[in-house]
Amino acid sequence: MHIGLNAHLLSGTAGYRSAGIHGYIEQLLHHLPAAVPPGWRLTALVGAGNNIQFEGLQKLRSWMDTEPPLRRILWEQAIQPWELGEFDLYHALAFVAPLWLRKPSVVTVYDLSFIHYPQVLSRARRLYLRLFTGFTCQRAERVIAISHSTARDIAQTLAVPMDRIDIAAPGYDAALFRPMPADEVEAFRRKKRLPERFWLFVGTIEPRKNLVTLLDAYAALPQQERLPLIIGGGKGWDYDAVFERVERCRLNVEFTGFLASEELPFWYNCAEAFLMPSVFEGFGLPVLEAMACGTPVIVSDVSSLPEVVGEAGMRVPPHDIEAWTAALRRAAGDAEWRGSARERGLEEARRYSWAETAHQTVQSYVSALK
């Protein structure tokens, strides 16, 4: 079998776009060759400027730059369909397949935030994703979701039968995301001038991350109980309320901007607890990475987050300010909880790996080709 994987969303540079979906696609392509049956071939369809190399996998570059979204859509919908003659199966790695696709297909859907939080996109892009994702999922032989929560959302929102949806959750690089030696952690702490104790959030600053609730809960703590709070991640949209709340309440909060992926394990290791107050997540990869580093986690008890955390961390109603204040107080003062959450988090994290992601993806291919 010859599988064509549309990987035009792979970013060639580090930054906001290189996180999230890019990371999932890149890791999947690195691990798929070891997971497919003998004799199967894999070809990644990428943009003209993409130079990422994958062992055991061919690349087919387009003749035009597909980094800008409109060019990528033009290529995928108008040009790419005529280049797929030799493939037995087409994998749309991000939401949408060509309208005129004449091959069996599999599609990966990360979340439906463009439906539930439509303000994040322009009207044109929102309508494109809404219409074409729904059409793609209805027509695909198999739909891959990255969590059970996302699978249920696809079934309910897009009317896709659950028996056509597979789960291929993200993994993490166990060589990077792990408890680091104490001397290396302290060296990083000194380099970044980080406090001895602090709480950490990593993610895009946007409404669904629910940072205003977290800041209100943080402000409700007595001054002497507040650890410094570090918010790592770029600005998304509608973020003014977050900065206004910090300024008005005179909170000890540091905004770092985008955090380089190679430094993330050190940030997690340095933090006393990791906080994720989101009201909606397709998976919540930073939570998994933090647990793999041995960092206690506190998350909202909605969407996919309880699924990722299991019994390892505290789970708090997303809009309950008093509950978040109580959780922060316990995280700061209960060393026994921190030790237990650390050990349970490490255990929960071992359930996930990119090799398993690739294995589940191949199982979806097999089902699609029956």
Instruction: Say whether pLDDT at 12 is over 90.
Output: no
Q: What is the predicted pLDDT for the residue at 52?
A: 87
Are the C-beta atoms of residues 108 and 79 closer than 8 Å to each other? no
Please identify which residue in the block is written with the tokens 């490490």: 346
* CATH number of this structure's domain 2-171+353-369: 3.40.50.2000
Using alpha carbons, select from 58, 39, 59, 41 the residue that is nearest to residue 50. Answer: 59
- Residue 186 CB-half CA count within 13 A: 3
Per-residue pLDDT band at 119 (split at 50, 70, 90): confident
pLDDT for res 16: 39
Query: Which CATH entry fits the domain spanning 182-349: 3.20.20.150, 1.20.210.10, 3.90.550.10, 3.40.50.2000?
Result: 3.40.50.2000
The rounded mean pLDDT for the chain is 94
- Assess whether pLDDT exceeds 80 at residue 56: yes
Please give the distance of CA 160 from its chain centroid, rounded to a whole number.
Answer: 22
Q: What is the pLDDT of residues 74-113, one digit of tens each?
A: 999 999 998 888 899 999 999 999 999 999 999 999 999 9
Instruction: Give the pLDDT score at 135.
Output: 96
Residue 154 has pLDDT above 90, yes or no: yes
Buried b (16+ CB within 10 A) or exposed e, 292-328: bbbbbbbbbebbbbbebbeebbbbbebeebebbbbbb
State the number of CA atoms in the 13 A half-sphere of 189 facing the CB. 17
pLDDT band at 161 (very low <50, low <70, confident <90, very high): very high
DSSP 8-state assignment for residue 282: S
Q: Tell whether the model's pLDDT for residue 349 goes beyond 90.
A: yes
Across the chain, the runs of DSSP E, i.e. the strands, are 2-6, 41-46, 58-61, 89-92, 105-109, 142-145, 165-167, 199-202, 229-232, 253-257, 273-276, 297-300, 314-316
Q: Region 228-247: what's the mean pLDDT? A: 95
CA neighbor of 351 nearest in space, from 307, 315, 316, 314: 307
What are the two backbone dihedrals, phi and then psi, of residue 231, each rounded to the nearest 5 degrees?
-110, 110
Domain ranges of the chain: 2-171+353-369, 182-349
Average pLDDT over residues 127-138: 95
Q: Roughly how many angstroms between the first and final C-alpha of the chain, as a whole number?
A: 12
pLDDT of 15 higher than 80: no
For the cut 60, the answer to whether the pLDDT of residue 13 exceeds it is: no
pTM of structure: 0.93
152 alpha carbon, distance to own chain's centre:
17
What was the pLDDT predicted at 184?
98
Kindly state the helix (H) or strand (E) to which residue 369 belongs, with its residue range.
helix 354-369
Stretch 141-169: mean pLDDT:
98
pLDDT band at 120 (very low <50, low <70, confident <90, very high): low
User: Is pLDDT at 233 greater than 60 in this prediction?
Assistant: yes
Location of structure tokens 């998304």: 236
The predicted model gives 359-366 an average pLDDT of: 98
Reply yes or no on whether the pLDDT at 148 is more than 50.
yes
pLDDT tens-digit profile of 257-282? 999 989 999 999 999 999 999 999 99
pLDDT of residue 17: 42
What is the pLDDT confidence band of residue 350, given thresholds at 50, 70 and 90? very high
Q: Strand order in 314-316's β-sheet?
A: 253-257, 229-232, 199-202, 273-276, 297-300, 314-316
pLDDT at 51: 86
Of 46-50, 233-237, 336-340, the range with the highest mean pLDDT is 336-340
Asked, colleague to colleague, whether 2-171+353-369 and 182-349 share their fold, the answer is: yes
What is the crossing angle of helices 123-139 and 148-158, to 10°? Answer: 90
